Structure 1
Amino acid sequence: MKQEYQDLILQATGAEALCIGDTIQTLWSGYGQIVRVHLEGSDRPSVVVKHVVFPHESAHPGGWNTDLSHQRKVRSYQVETHWYQHYSTDDGCRVPVCLAARSFGDEQLIVLEDLDVAGFDQRRTSVNGTEIRACLRWLAQFHARFLGASPEGLWPIGTYWHLETRPDELEAMADRDLQAAAGRIDQILNDCRFKTIVHGDAKLANFCFSTQGSEVAAVDFQYVGGGCGMKDVVYFLGSCMDERECEARATELLDYYFVELKEAVSEEVTFAELEAEWREMYAFAWTDFHRFLLGWMPGHRKINKYSRRLAKEVLLKL
C-alpha cells in the first residue's frame, strides 16, 4: 500500500503505526480489494479499508465488459463515497462508521470502522428465522429513516439492476413479453407515492451478524439511491431462500417487515396507505429483478417457478 494511503489511515485513526492484514475480499471484476489494517497506538485495534482501483480493462465474470459497465462501476464507487461522507444512520440500521474517504486519481480509499470489533463478526451463507427477521428489521428501520428523503448525491433510482442502467441486458432477453413490459414495470415502481432510499444490493452477503444472529449491520452501498422499499425486500428474500421457501414463507416474512416498518415510521405517515402501496409493489419489484436476470444470466438459479409465477401475475395486471 502506498505511503500516502497509509498516512491517510494513520491520520484518520490517530494511530502511531499500522500493519496491512489479510484481504477480506476482492472487488467485483478486479476493481480493487477490501483489506483489514491493524493499528498500534489507536483506540481502534483495526479498521477495514476499501481500496478501489479503476482498471484499464476489467474481467467481468458474466462477460459484460463494456464501457457502460465500467462507467456504472465508477459511478457506484463515487456514490458509495458520498454516502459514507454525507449520510448517517442509527443503531436500528447499523452501518460502519466512515473515518476517511479520498480519491487519488484512478484510485479511491474508504477507511471504515471494523464491524468485527464492534460485535458484528459473523457472516452467513444460510440463515434461520431469527437471522432473516434481523435483516428485515434492519431494512424496515432503514426505509423508515429515509422515507421521503431526496437521494442527493446518490443514484436517483437505486439498485444495481435498474432498467435505465441495463440496456444491454434488456436487449439480450429472450422473454419478449416481459421485455416489452419492462419499461411499464419500471415506471410503476418509479411512480410510487411513497419513496425512500434503498440499499440497492441488500443480499445476505452484505449483512454482518452478531454472535447470536439477532442483530445485524450492513455494508456495500455502491447502489444506494431512491426508490420503493420493496426492491430491497424482494432482493434480500431471493438471496437467502429457494423457490419452495419463498412459496412457503414469503407472506409471513413480508408481514413481519411491515410490522417493523409500522413501528419505525413517523406518526405523520398514513401507514395504511404506505403498506397498501408497497404490498402491491412486491410482485412488481420481484419481476423487475427477474427481468434483469433473464438478460444478464439466463441460467441463474434465481430464475425459478416462484419468480415466473409472480412475473405472470404482473403481466396480467398491465
Structure 2
Amino acid sequence: MKQEYQDLILEATSAASLQIGGKIQTLWSGYGQIVRVHLQGGERESVVVKHVEFPKDCSDTDLSHQRKVRSYQVETHWYQNYSTNEHCRIPECLAARSFGDEQLMVLEDLDAAGFPGRRTSVREAEIKACLRWLANFHGLFLGSPARALWPVGTYWHLQTRPDELEAMADRKLRAAAPEIDAVLNRCQFKTVVHGDAKLANFCFSEDGTRVAAVDFQYVGGGCGMKDVIYFLGSCLDERECEKRADRYLDFYFSELRGALKERVNFSELENEWRELYSFAWTDFHRFLLGWMPGHHKINRYSRRLTQEVLQKLRQRSDGAKR
C-alpha cells in the first residue's frame, strides 16, 4: 500500500503505526480490493479499507465502466454525507479520498463492532433481522431526496441496462419493460434504497439477531420493495418463496409501521408498495433474462409474478381504451 494511503489511515485513526492484514475480498470485475488494516497506538485495533483502482484499459465510452466509476463516487458521497442509526447500522466512515484513478475509503471494522458473522444460508430469525434493517432504513429516509446519490437506486434498473434489454429473448416482457419501470418510478411513497441488499452485504451479530449493512454503490431513490425482493431472492429458493414470501412481507410492513411512527398515512403506503412488490420482482427478472438467461434465480416463482404483472398491464391498457 502506498505511503500516502497509509498516512491517510494513520491520520484518520490517530494510530501510531499500522500493519496491512489479509484481503477480505476483491471488488467486482477487478476494480480493487477490500483489506483489513491492523492498528497500533490508537483507540481502534483495526479498520477496513476499500481500495478502488479503475482499470487503465477501460474506455470512457464503456457503459459498464462508467456505471462502476459513478457507483464508487456515489458510495464515497454516501459514507461522507449520510448517517443512519442503531436500527439500521452501517460502518462509520473515518476518511474517504480520491487519488486520481484510485479511491480509498477507511471504514469502521464491523467485526470489531460486534458484527463478525457472514451467512450463505439463513434461519428465520436472521431473515427477519435483515428485513428489520431494511424497514428501519426505508422508514428513516422516507420522503428524503436522494441528493448526489443515484436518482434511481439499484444496479439493474432499466435506464442503466440498455444492452441487457436488447439481449432479451422474451419479447412480451421486453416490450413491457418501459412501463414496468415507469410504474415503479411513479410511486407516491419514495425512500432511499440500499440498491444491492443481498444476503452477502449483511454482517451479523454472533447470535444472528442484529445486522449491519455494507456496500452502498447503488444507493439511491425509489420504492422500498426493490430492496425487499432482492433480499428475499438472495436467500430463498422458488419453493421457499411460494411458501414464505408473503409471511416475510407481512413482517417487513409490521416493522416499517413501527419505524415510521405515524409520520405518513401508512395504509396508503402499504397498499401502494404491496402492489409494487410483483412489479419490482418482475423488473429484476427482466434484468436477469437479458444479463444471464441461465441464472438460478430465473424460476417458476419469478415467472408467475411476471405473468401477473403483464396481465395487470394488459388490463390497464384495455381499461384506458374503453
Give TM class, smaller chain: over 0.9
Residue 299 (structure 1) aligns with: 294
Is the counterpart of residue 158 in structure 1 residue 149 in structure 2? no
| Superimposed CA distance per residue, residues 173-196 of structure 1 (whole angstroms, 9 cap, x where no aligned partner) | 000000000000000000000000
Deviation at 1:66, TM superposition (A): 7.4
Give the match for residue 69 of structure 1: 64
Q: Structure 1: how far apart are the matches of 2:277 and 2:262? A: 23
2:111 equivalent in structure 1: 116
State the partner residue of 2:246.
251
Counting aligned pairs with the same residue, the percent is 76
Deviation at 1:266, TM superposition (A): 3.9
Q: Which residue of 1 aligns with 2:318?
A: none
Equivalence for 2:282: 287
Task: Supply the AA of the counterpart residue of 2:312.
Answer: K
Matched, 1:56 2:19: no
1:280-307 deviations in whole A, cap 9, x for unaligned?
Answer: 0000000000000000000000000000
Q: Deviations over 1:154-185 (max 9, x none)?
A: 00000000100000000000000000000000
The residue aligned with 1:82 is 77
1:22 is aligned to 22
Q: Distance in 2 between matches of 1:81 and 1:42?
A: 24
Distance 1:8 1:268 in 2: 41
Q: Which 4+ residue blocks in structure 1 deviate beyond 4 angstroms?
A: none
CA distance in 1, matches of 2:122, 2:137: 20
Instruction: Indicate which of 109, 116, 129 corresponds to 1:134.
Output: 129
| RMSD of aligned residue pairs (Cα, Å) | 1.0
> Which residue identity is paired with 1:16?
A
Match of 2:186 in 1: 191
TM score, norm. by length of structure 1: 0.97
3-state DSSP of counterpart to 2:234: helix
1:7-45 deviation per Cα after TM superposition (whole angstroms, max 9, x unaligned): 000000000000000000000000000000000011100
Q: Matches of 2:43 and 2:145 in 1, distance apart? A: 35
Alignment pair present for 1:175 and 2:170: yes
Give the structure 1 partner of residue 35 of structure 2: 35
- With normalisation by structure 2, the TM-score equals 0.96
- Matched residue of 1:11: which SS? helix
Between the aligned partners of 2:28 and 2:263, the Cα distance in structure 1 is: 41
Q: Does 1:232 align with 2:227?
A: yes
- The alignment partner of 1:149 has SS state of coil
Corresponding residue for 1:263?
Answer: 258
Aligned to 2:236: 241
Q: CA deviation at 1:57?
A: 3.5
Residue deviations 1:56-87 (CA, integer Å, cap 9, x gap): 246xxxxxx97000000000000000000000
Question: Which residue number corresponds to residue 211 of structure 2?
Answer: 216
Which secondary structure does the structure 2 equivalent of 1:212 belong to? coil
**Aligned equivalents of 1:298, 1:234: Cα separation in 2:** 19
Structure 2 residue runs of 5 or longer lacking an equivalent are: 314-322
One-letter identity of the residue aligned with 1:305: R
Provide the rounded CA distance (Å) in 2 between the counterparts of 1:275 and 1:66.
41
Unaligned residue ranges in structure 1 (runs of 5+)? 59-64
Aligned residue for 1:49, secondary structure, equals strand
Please tell me whether residue 312 in structure 1 is matched to residue 307 in structure 2: yes
Residue of structure 1 in register with 2:3 after alignment: 3
Distance, in Å, in 2 between the alignment partners of 1:192 and 1:252 is: 23
Identify the residue that residue 142 of structure 2 maps to in structure 1.
147
